[in-house]
Amino acid sequence: MIRVQEVAPEIDAGPLLSGAQFADAFRIDVAGRTLDARQAAQRMMGRSPRWVEALLTLRHLVVAPLGLKTSGNTENPPRETIGLFPILTQTPGRLVAGFNDKHLDFRVVVDVATSGPDDTSGQQVTATTLVKTHNALGRIYLAVIKPFHRVIVPAMLRQIAA
């Protein structure tokens, strides 16, 4: 099995999501590929394992009556998305996706860096999640979703190396 490790978030959350109350990060080493952040994010979030899709379908059914977004779609759709997530910014080394909702705002930050002294050593891809809750519903939602998040993000990262 491809190893994904939880790491301390190594980003300044302020410019990405000021006031974020939750942050975590997971990292995978990728050998034999040369990816930029967009390619890594596409491999990670462009498709989901079936069990993740089933969980997302259940989530949509539960949150729709509460008036929460069931995807990144808005009245003014963003120019580009990866999976459900609107792309907010991108550079070769970093892609930031996410959206704001009435209960919380979130960002998924995908960073790609070389893992050794030269470009042939492989790469490390880190997925950092930032969340800023706005109310009790956001705090409850985050508490309920966290255990699933801790399983889903590593599974999605493994798709990069597969």
What is the per-residue pLDDT for 73?
47
User: For the chain, what are the domain ranges?
Assistant: 4-8+23-52+80-161
Q: How far apart are CA 83 and CA 130, in angstroms?
A: 18
Q: Tell me: pLDDT of 51 over 50.
A: yes
Question: Is the C-alpha dihedral spanning 12, 125, 82, 159 positive or negative?
Answer: negative
What is the per-residue pLDDT for 9?
95
What are 108's two structure tokens?
Answer: 């998924």
- Burial readout 122-147 (b: 16 or more C-beta within 10 A, e: otherwise): ebbbbbbbbbbbeeebbbebbeebee
Hey, what CATH topology would domain 4-8+23-52+80-161 get? Alpha-D-Glucose-1,6-Bisphosphate; Chain A, domain 4 (3.30.530)
CB 114 within 8 Å of CB 122: yes
Q: Tell me: pLDDT of 130 over 70.
A: yes
Better pLDDT: 122 or 149: 149
- Partners of 105 in beta bridges: 100, 132
Nearest partner of 85 among 151, 148, 130, 54, judged by Cα = 130
Above pLDDT 90, what percent of the chain?
A: 57
Q: How far apart are CA 65 and CA 55, in angstroms?
A: 17
